[in-house]
Protein backbone atom coordinates (compact mmCIF):
# COMPACT_ATOMS: atom_id res chain seq x y z
CA UNK A 1 0.00 0.00 0.00
CA UNK A 2 1.32 3.45 -0.74
CA UNK A 3 0.38 7.08 -0.25
CA UNK A 4 0.35 9.06 -3.48
CA UNK A 5 3.47 11.18 -3.55
CA UNK A 6 5.00 9.49 -0.50
CA UNK A 7 5.21 5.82 -1.58
CA UNK A 8 4.90 4.44 1.94
CA UNK A 9 5.15 0.63 1.96
CA UNK A 10 2.82 -1.68 3.86
CA UNK A 11 5.29 -2.25 6.65
CA UNK A 12 5.57 1.52 7.39
CA UNK A 13 2.01 2.71 6.94
CA UNK A 14 1.07 2.25 10.58
CA UNK A 15 4.09 4.25 11.73
CA UNK A 16 3.25 6.99 9.21
CA UNK A 17 -0.36 7.29 10.24
CA UNK A 18 0.19 10.92 11.26
CA UNK A 19 0.50 11.76 7.54
CA UNK A 20 -3.30 11.61 7.26
CA UNK A 21 -3.50 14.73 9.40
CA UNK A 22 -0.67 16.39 7.51
CA UNK A 23 -2.35 15.98 4.14
CA UNK A 24 -5.77 17.22 5.13
CA UNK A 25 -7.50 14.72 7.40
CA UNK A 26 -8.82 16.33 10.49
CA UNK A 27 -11.01 15.43 13.42
CA UNK A 28 -13.97 16.96 11.60
CA UNK A 29 -14.04 14.03 9.12
CA UNK A 30 -16.42 11.28 10.19
CA UNK A 31 -16.34 8.97 7.18
CA UNK A 32 -14.31 8.33 4.07
CA UNK A 33 -16.17 7.62 0.80
CA UNK A 34 -15.64 4.12 -0.53
CA UNK A 35 -14.67 3.21 -4.10
CA UNK A 36 -17.73 1.05 -4.80
CA UNK A 37 -21.30 2.12 -3.85
CA UNK A 38 -22.00 -1.25 -2.24
CA UNK A 39 -19.10 -0.95 0.21
CA UNK A 40 -19.62 0.52 3.64
CA UNK A 41 -18.08 3.91 4.41
CA UNK A 42 -14.83 3.82 6.37
CA UNK A 43 -13.59 6.15 9.04
CA UNK A 44 -10.08 7.61 8.69
CA UNK A 45 -8.91 5.90 11.85
CA UNK A 46 -9.52 2.52 10.30
CA UNK A 47 -6.68 3.22 7.90
CA UNK A 48 -4.16 3.73 10.70
CA UNK A 49 -3.82 0.05 11.66
CA UNK A 50 -2.15 -2.72 9.70
CA UNK A 51 -4.95 -5.25 10.29
CA UNK A 52 -7.05 -3.73 7.54
CA UNK A 53 -4.11 -3.79 5.16
CA UNK A 54 -3.33 -7.43 5.79
CA UNK A 55 -6.97 -8.39 5.40
CA UNK A 56 -6.79 -7.00 1.86
CA UNK A 57 -3.48 -8.85 1.24
CA UNK A 58 -1.94 -5.58 0.09
CA UNK A 59 -3.62 -2.52 -1.43
CA UNK A 60 -2.17 -1.11 -4.60
CA UNK A 61 -2.69 2.59 -4.15
CA UNK A 62 -4.18 5.23 -1.88
CA UNK A 63 -4.71 8.76 -3.08
CA UNK A 64 -5.44 11.76 -0.87
CA UNK A 65 -7.47 14.34 -2.77
CA UNK A 66 -9.23 17.18 -0.92
CA UNK A 67 -10.12 15.20 2.18
CA UNK A 68 -11.04 11.86 0.59
CA UNK A 69 -9.30 8.49 0.20
CA UNK A 70 -10.09 6.18 -2.71
CA UNK A 71 -9.22 2.50 -2.88
CA UNK A 72 -8.57 0.69 -6.12
CA UNK A 73 -8.67 -2.97 -7.03
CA UNK A 74 -9.66 -4.35 -3.67
CA UNK A 75 -10.71 -7.59 -5.35
CA UNK A 76 -7.58 -8.45 -7.31
CA UNK A 77 -4.73 -6.77 -5.52
CA UNK A 78 -0.98 -6.91 -5.74
CA UNK A 79 0.43 -10.41 -5.45
CA UNK A 80 4.06 -10.68 -4.61
CA UNK A 81 5.73 -13.86 -3.51
CA UNK A 82 3.23 -16.67 -3.16
CA UNK A 83 3.86 -20.30 -2.56
CA UNK A 84 1.39 -23.15 -2.73
CA UNK A 85 2.03 -26.54 -1.24
CA UNK A 86 -0.03 -29.21 -2.93
CA UNK A 87 0.92 -32.90 -2.68
CA UNK A 88 1.09 -34.29 -6.21
CA UNK A 89 1.22 -37.89 -4.99
CA UNK A 90 3.17 -39.08 -8.00
CA UNK A 91 6.46 -38.58 -9.78
CA UNK A 92 9.06 -36.09 -8.61
CA UNK A 93 6.80 -33.18 -7.65
CA UNK A 94 5.65 -32.06 -4.24
CA UNK A 95 6.13 -28.31 -3.91
CA UNK A 96 5.23 -25.55 -6.33
CA UNK A 97 6.26 -21.91 -6.13
CA UNK A 98 4.58 -19.03 -7.89
CA UNK A 99 6.45 -15.77 -8.10
CA UNK A 100 5.35 -12.75 -10.12
CA UNK A 101 5.68 -9.01 -9.60
CA UNK A 102 3.24 -6.59 -11.12
CA UNK A 103 4.27 -3.03 -11.81
CA UNK A 104 1.76 -0.23 -12.06
CA UNK A 105 1.48 3.50 -11.96
CA UNK A 106 -1.39 5.57 -10.67
CA UNK A 107 -2.91 8.76 -11.97
CA UNK A 108 -5.82 11.07 -11.35
CA UNK A 109 -8.69 11.73 -13.73
CA UNK A 110 -11.65 13.82 -12.53
CA UNK A 111 -10.61 13.27 -8.91
CA UNK A 112 -10.74 9.44 -9.24
CA UNK A 113 -7.75 7.21 -8.79
CA UNK A 114 -7.02 4.95 -11.72
CA UNK A 115 -4.34 2.33 -12.16
CA UNK A 116 -2.63 1.24 -15.35
CA UNK A 117 -0.93 -2.14 -15.30
CA UNK A 118 2.29 -2.29 -17.26
CA UNK A 119 2.83 -5.31 -19.52
CA UNK A 120 6.16 -6.17 -17.88
CA UNK A 121 4.82 -9.23 -16.09
CA UNK A 122 2.96 -10.43 -19.18
CA UNK A 123 6.06 -10.03 -21.33
CA UNK A 124 8.20 -11.81 -18.77
CA UNK A 125 5.73 -14.71 -18.69
CA UNK A 126 5.76 -14.97 -22.49
CA UNK A 127 9.56 -14.97 -22.57
CA UNK A 128 9.74 -17.57 -19.81
CA UNK A 129 7.23 -19.79 -21.62
CA UNK A 130 9.29 -19.57 -24.82
CA UNK A 131 12.61 -20.25 -23.08
CA UNK A 132 11.58 -22.97 -20.64
CA UNK A 133 8.88 -24.77 -22.68
CA UNK A 134 8.96 -24.22 -26.45
CA UNK A 135 12.72 -23.84 -26.82
CA UNK A 136 13.23 -26.76 -24.42
CA UNK A 137 10.89 -28.92 -26.50
CA UNK A 138 12.82 -28.02 -29.66
CA UNK A 139 16.11 -28.91 -27.97
CA UNK A 140 14.68 -32.24 -26.84
CA UNK A 141 13.43 -33.24 -30.31
CA UNK A 142 16.38 -31.88 -32.30
CA UNK A 143 18.96 -33.17 -29.82
CA UNK A 144 17.43 -36.66 -29.75
CA UNK A 145 17.43 -36.74 -33.56
CA UNK A 146 21.10 -35.76 -33.75
CA UNK A 147 22.11 -38.18 -31.00
CA UNK A 148 20.40 -41.12 -32.70
CA UNK A 149 20.99 -40.44 -36.40
CA UNK A 150 24.19 -38.44 -36.71
CA UNK A 151 27.40 -40.25 -37.73
CA UNK A 152 29.71 -37.56 -36.34
CA UNK A 153 30.59 -38.25 -32.68
CA UNK A 154 30.73 -34.51 -31.92
CA UNK A 155 27.22 -33.97 -33.23
CA UNK A 156 26.00 -36.98 -31.30
CA UNK A 157 27.44 -35.63 -28.05
CA UNK A 158 26.04 -32.17 -28.73
CA UNK A 159 22.63 -33.66 -29.48
CA UNK A 160 22.69 -35.71 -26.27
CA UNK A 161 23.55 -32.61 -24.21
CA UNK A 162 20.84 -30.56 -25.93
CA UNK A 163 18.23 -33.27 -25.39
CA UNK A 164 19.21 -33.55 -21.71
CA UNK A 165 18.94 -29.80 -21.18
CA UNK A 166 15.57 -29.70 -22.92
CA UNK A 167 14.22 -32.61 -20.88
CA UNK A 168 15.36 -31.09 -17.58
CA UNK A 169 13.82 -27.74 -18.54
CA UNK A 170 10.49 -29.40 -19.35
CA UNK A 171 10.54 -31.37 -16.10
CA UNK A 172 11.13 -28.13 -14.16
CA UNK A 173 8.16 -26.26 -15.68
CA UNK A 174 5.95 -26.82 -12.57
CA UNK A 175 8.38 -24.45 -10.82
CA UNK A 176 9.60 -22.24 -13.67
CA UNK A 177 6.20 -21.85 -15.40
CA UNK A 178 3.74 -22.34 -12.56
CA UNK A 179 1.61 -19.49 -13.97
CA UNK A 180 1.12 -21.31 -17.31
CA UNK A 181 -1.15 -24.23 -18.08
CA UNK A 182 1.65 -25.69 -20.22
CA UNK A 183 3.46 -26.64 -17.02
CA UNK A 184 0.96 -29.50 -16.62
CA UNK A 185 2.67 -31.20 -19.59
CA UNK A 186 6.03 -31.03 -17.84
CA UNK A 187 4.41 -32.39 -14.70
CA UNK A 188 3.09 -35.36 -16.67
CA UNK A 189 6.58 -36.04 -18.05
CA UNK A 190 7.99 -36.05 -14.53
CA UNK A 191 5.23 -38.35 -13.33
CA UNK A 192 5.92 -40.82 -16.17
CA UNK A 193 9.70 -40.67 -15.84
CA UNK A 194 9.95 -43.61 -13.45
CA UNK A 195 7.72 -46.14 -15.23
CA UNK A 196 8.98 -44.96 -18.63
CA UNK A 197 12.60 -45.72 -17.75
CA UNK A 198 11.61 -49.12 -16.35
CA UNK A 199 9.70 -50.01 -19.52
CA UNK A 200 12.49 -48.88 -21.84
CA UNK A 201 15.26 -50.73 -19.99
CA UNK A 202 13.07 -53.78 -19.39
CA UNK A 203 12.11 -54.21 -23.04
CA UNK A 204 15.73 -53.66 -24.05
CA UNK A 205 16.88 -56.48 -21.77
CA UNK A 206 14.11 -58.76 -23.01
CA UNK A 207 14.78 -58.05 -26.69
CA UNK A 208 18.57 -58.51 -26.57
CA UNK A 209 18.43 -61.62 -24.42
CA UNK A 210 16.43 -63.42 -27.11
CA UNK A 211 17.55 -64.94 -30.44
CA UNK A 212 19.79 -62.12 -31.67
CA UNK A 213 22.86 -62.81 -33.87
CA UNK A 214 25.38 -60.77 -31.84
CA UNK A 215 25.56 -59.22 -28.38
CA UNK A 216 23.09 -61.61 -26.81
CA UNK A 217 22.44 -61.02 -23.11
CA UNK A 218 22.15 -63.68 -20.44
CA UNK A 219 19.00 -65.38 -19.20
CA UNK A 220 19.32 -63.48 -15.90
CA UNK A 221 19.06 -60.22 -17.84
CA UNK A 222 15.89 -61.52 -19.45
CA UNK A 223 14.32 -62.23 -16.06
CA UNK A 224 15.43 -58.82 -14.80
CA UNK A 225 13.87 -57.12 -17.82
CA UNK A 226 10.59 -58.97 -17.33
CA UNK A 227 10.54 -57.92 -13.67
CA UNK A 228 11.13 -54.28 -14.60
CA UNK A 229 8.27 -54.37 -17.14
CA UNK A 230 5.91 -55.85 -14.56
CA UNK A 231 6.84 -53.18 -11.99
CA UNK A 232 6.32 -50.43 -14.58
CA UNK A 233 2.89 -51.79 -15.54
CA UNK A 234 1.84 -52.00 -11.89
CA UNK A 235 3.10 -48.43 -11.38
CA UNK A 236 1.06 -47.12 -14.31
CA UNK A 237 -2.02 -49.02 -13.18
CA UNK A 238 -1.58 -47.56 -9.72
CA UNK A 239 -1.81 -44.08 -11.20
CA UNK A 240 -5.30 -44.93 -12.39
CA UNK A 241 -6.66 -47.13 -9.63
CA UNK A 242 -4.93 -45.87 -6.49
CA UNK A 243 -4.18 -42.57 -4.79
CA UNK A 244 -1.01 -41.46 -6.59
CA UNK A 245 -2.73 -40.29 -9.77
CA UNK A 246 -0.81 -37.36 -11.36
CA UNK A 247 -2.46 -34.33 -9.75
CA UNK A 248 -1.64 -30.78 -10.82
CA UNK A 249 -2.20 -28.39 -9.19
CA UNK A 250 -5.22 -29.55 -7.20
CA UNK A 251 -7.07 -31.80 -9.66
CA UNK A 252 -6.15 -34.70 -11.91
CA UNK A 253 -3.65 -33.62 -14.54
CA UNK A 254 -5.60 -33.05 -17.76
CA UNK A 255 -2.77 -34.50 -19.83
CA UNK A 256 -2.91 -37.73 -17.83
CA UNK A 257 -6.58 -38.07 -18.78
CA UNK A 258 -5.49 -37.82 -22.41
CA UNK A 259 -2.36 -39.96 -22.14
CA UNK A 260 -3.66 -43.05 -20.35
CA UNK A 261 -6.58 -44.02 -22.68
CA UNK A 262 -4.47 -43.14 -25.73
CA UNK A 263 -1.59 -45.28 -24.45
CA UNK A 264 -3.89 -48.26 -23.87
CA UNK A 265 -5.51 -47.98 -27.30
CA UNK A 266 -2.17 -47.54 -29.04
CA UNK A 267 -0.73 -50.59 -27.26
CA UNK A 268 -3.79 -52.63 -28.19
CA UNK A 269 -3.50 -51.58 -31.84
CA UNK A 270 0.24 -52.30 -31.90
CA UNK A 271 -0.14 -55.75 -30.32
CA UNK A 272 -2.99 -56.74 -32.64
CA UNK A 273 -1.10 -55.55 -35.73
CA UNK A 274 2.06 -57.38 -34.62
CA UNK A 275 0.08 -60.60 -34.10
CA UNK A 276 -1.32 -60.44 -37.64
CA UNK A 277 1.93 -59.41 -39.36
CA UNK A 278 4.06 -62.02 -37.58
CA UNK A 279 1.67 -64.71 -38.76
CA UNK A 280 1.84 -63.46 -42.37
CA UNK A 281 5.49 -62.60 -42.99
CA UNK A 282 7.40 -64.59 -40.36
CA UNK A 283 8.02 -68.26 -39.73
CA UNK A 284 9.17 -69.86 -36.52
CA UNK A 285 8.10 -66.89 -34.39
CA UNK A 286 5.40 -68.59 -32.37
CA UNK A 287 6.66 -67.26 -29.06
CA UNK A 288 6.60 -63.64 -30.25
CA UNK A 289 3.16 -64.09 -31.78
CA UNK A 290 1.82 -65.62 -28.58
CA UNK A 291 3.26 -62.71 -26.60
CA UNK A 292 1.52 -60.20 -28.92
CA UNK A 293 -1.80 -62.01 -28.45
CA UNK A 294 -1.37 -62.14 -24.67
CA UNK A 295 -0.57 -58.40 -24.58
CA UNK A 296 -3.68 -57.57 -26.65
CA UNK A 297 -5.92 -59.64 -24.37
CA UNK A 298 -4.38 -58.00 -21.28
CA UNK A 299 -5.02 -54.49 -22.63
CA UNK A 300 -8.61 -55.43 -23.49
CA UNK A 301 -9.05 -56.62 -19.89
CA UNK A 302 -7.70 -53.32 -18.53
CA UNK A 303 -10.02 -51.33 -20.78
CA UNK A 304 -13.00 -53.37 -19.66
CA UNK A 305 -12.17 -52.91 -15.98
CA UNK A 306 -11.62 -49.17 -16.38
CA UNK A 307 -14.98 -48.80 -18.13
CA UNK A 308 -16.76 -50.85 -15.44
CA UNK A 309 -15.28 -49.51 -12.19
CA UNK A 310 -14.23 -46.11 -10.84
CA UNK A 311 -10.62 -45.42 -10.04
CA UNK A 312 -9.38 -43.56 -6.99
CA UNK A 313 -9.42 -40.19 -8.77
CA UNK A 314 -10.81 -40.97 -12.23
CA UNK A 315 -14.40 -42.15 -12.64
CA UNK A 316 -15.47 -44.67 -15.26
CA UNK A 317 -17.58 -41.99 -16.98
CA UNK A 318 -14.58 -39.69 -17.32
CA UNK A 319 -12.43 -42.54 -18.59
CA UNK A 320 -15.11 -43.51 -21.10
CA UNK A 321 -15.31 -39.99 -22.52
CA UNK A 322 -11.54 -39.76 -22.81
CA UNK A 323 -11.41 -43.22 -24.39
CA UNK A 324 -13.85 -42.13 -27.12
CA UNK A 325 -11.76 -39.01 -27.78
CA UNK A 326 -8.56 -41.09 -27.86
CA UNK A 327 -10.17 -43.50 -30.29
CA UNK A 328 -11.16 -40.59 -32.51
CA UNK A 329 -7.60 -39.27 -32.37
CA UNK A 330 -6.08 -42.62 -33.35
CA UNK A 331 -8.67 -43.14 -36.08
CA UNK A 332 -7.88 -39.68 -37.45
CA UNK A 333 -4.17 -40.50 -37.30
CA UNK A 334 -4.66 -43.73 -39.27
CA UNK A 335 -6.91 -42.05 -41.83
CA UNK A 336 -4.49 -39.15 -42.18
CA UNK A 337 -1.54 -41.49 -42.70
CA UNK A 338 -3.48 -43.51 -45.28
CA UNK A 339 -4.47 -40.34 -47.14
CA UNK A 340 -0.87 -39.13 -47.08
CA UNK A 341 0.38 -42.42 -48.58
CA UNK A 342 -2.41 -42.38 -51.17
CA UNK A 343 -1.64 -38.77 -52.11
CA UNK A 344 2.05 -39.59 -52.48
CA UNK A 345 1.24 -42.57 -54.70
CA UNK A 346 -1.07 -40.47 -56.90
CA UNK A 347 1.60 -37.78 -57.27
CA UNK A 348 4.18 -40.38 -58.33
CA UNK A 349 1.76 -41.92 -60.83
CA UNK A 350 0.88 -38.55 -62.37
CA UNK A 351 4.55 -37.57 -62.57
CA UNK A 352 5.62 -40.82 -64.19
CA UNK A 353 2.73 -40.72 -66.68
CA UNK A 354 3.82 -37.30 -67.90
CA UNK A 355 7.39 -38.36 -68.63
CA UNK A 356 8.44 -38.83 -72.28
CA UNK A 357 9.27 -42.51 -72.93
CA UNK A 358 12.89 -43.18 -73.99
CA UNK A 359 13.63 -43.66 -77.70
CA UNK A 360 13.72 -47.26 -78.98
CA UNK A 361 16.90 -48.11 -80.89
CA UNK A 362 16.75 -49.92 -84.23
CA UNK A 363 18.05 -53.52 -84.38
CA UNK A 364 21.71 -53.97 -85.45
CA UNK A 365 22.46 -54.32 -89.14
CA UNK A 366 24.40 -57.13 -90.83
CA UNK A 367 27.56 -55.04 -91.07
CA UNK A 368 27.38 -54.18 -87.38
CA UNK A 369 26.95 -57.84 -86.44
CA UNK A 370 29.93 -58.87 -88.62
CA UNK A 371 32.06 -56.14 -87.07
CA UNK A 372 31.08 -57.29 -83.60
CA UNK A 373 31.99 -60.88 -84.48
CA UNK A 374 35.44 -59.86 -85.67
CA UNK A 375 36.08 -57.86 -82.50
CA UNK A 376 35.00 -60.75 -80.32
CA UNK A 377 37.11 -63.26 -82.25
CA UNK A 378 40.19 -61.06 -82.00
CA UNK A 379 39.89 -60.74 -78.25
CA UNK A 380 38.83 -64.28 -77.31
CA UNK A 381 41.62 -66.89 -77.25
CA UNK A 382 41.22 -70.63 -77.56
CA UNK A 383 39.36 -71.15 -80.74
CA UNK A 384 39.98 -74.63 -82.16
CA UNK A 385 43.05 -75.24 -79.99
CA UNK A 386 42.88 -78.53 -78.08
CA UNK A 387 43.12 -78.56 -74.29
CA UNK A 388 45.54 -81.51 -74.39
The candidate with the shortest Cα–Cα distance to 92, out of 253, 246, 313, is 246
CA 276 to chain centre: 33
The candidate with the shortest Cα–Cα distance to 330, out of 272, 246, 387, 280, is 272
How would DSSP label each residue in 279-324? HHH-SS-HHHHHHHHHHHHHHHHHHHHHHHS--SSS-HHHHHHHHH
* CA distance to 9, 22, 31, 89, 341, per residue, from 156 (Å): 54, 71, 73, 36, 31
Q: How high is the pLDDT of residue 160?
A: 93
Q: How high is the pLDDT of residue 194?
A: 92
Q: How high is the pLDDT of residue 262?
A: 93
Per-domain residue ranges of the chain: 10-118, 181-349
Q: Which of 69-73, 170-174, 210-214 has the highest mean predicted lDDT (pLDDT)?
A: 170-174
- pLDDT above 90: residue 306: yes
Indicate the helix (H) or strand (E) that contains 207: helix 183-208
pLDDT in tens, 210-250: 777 777 888 888 899 999 999 999 999 999 998 889 988 88
Q: How high is the pLDDT of residue 84?
A: 39
Q: How high is the pLDDT of residue 18?
A: 42
Q: Which of 3-12, 99-108, 243-252, 279-288 has the highest mean predicted lDDT (pLDDT)?
A: 243-252
pLDDT in tens, 84-125: 334 445 555 544 433 344 444 444 444 444 444 445 566 588
How would DSSP label each residue in 152-180? SHHHHHHHHHHHHHHHHHHHTHHHHTTTS
What is the average pLDDT across 245-269? 91
What span, in angstroms and rounded, lies between the C-alpha atoms of 166 and 253? 21
Q: How high is the pLDDT of residue 113?
A: 44
What is the average pLDDT across 49-74? 44
Amino acid sequence: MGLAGFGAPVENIDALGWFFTAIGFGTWETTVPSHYPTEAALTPTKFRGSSLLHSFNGVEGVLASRGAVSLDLTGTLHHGNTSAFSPQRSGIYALRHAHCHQSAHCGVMSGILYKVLRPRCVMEEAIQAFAFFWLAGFLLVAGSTLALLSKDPRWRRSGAWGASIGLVSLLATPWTLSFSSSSAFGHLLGSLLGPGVLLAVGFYLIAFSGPVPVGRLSRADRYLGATMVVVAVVWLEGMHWWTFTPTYPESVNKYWLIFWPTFLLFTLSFASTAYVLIGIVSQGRRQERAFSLLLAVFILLLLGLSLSFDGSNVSKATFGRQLILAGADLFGLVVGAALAVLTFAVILYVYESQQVPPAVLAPPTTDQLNHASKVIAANVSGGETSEE
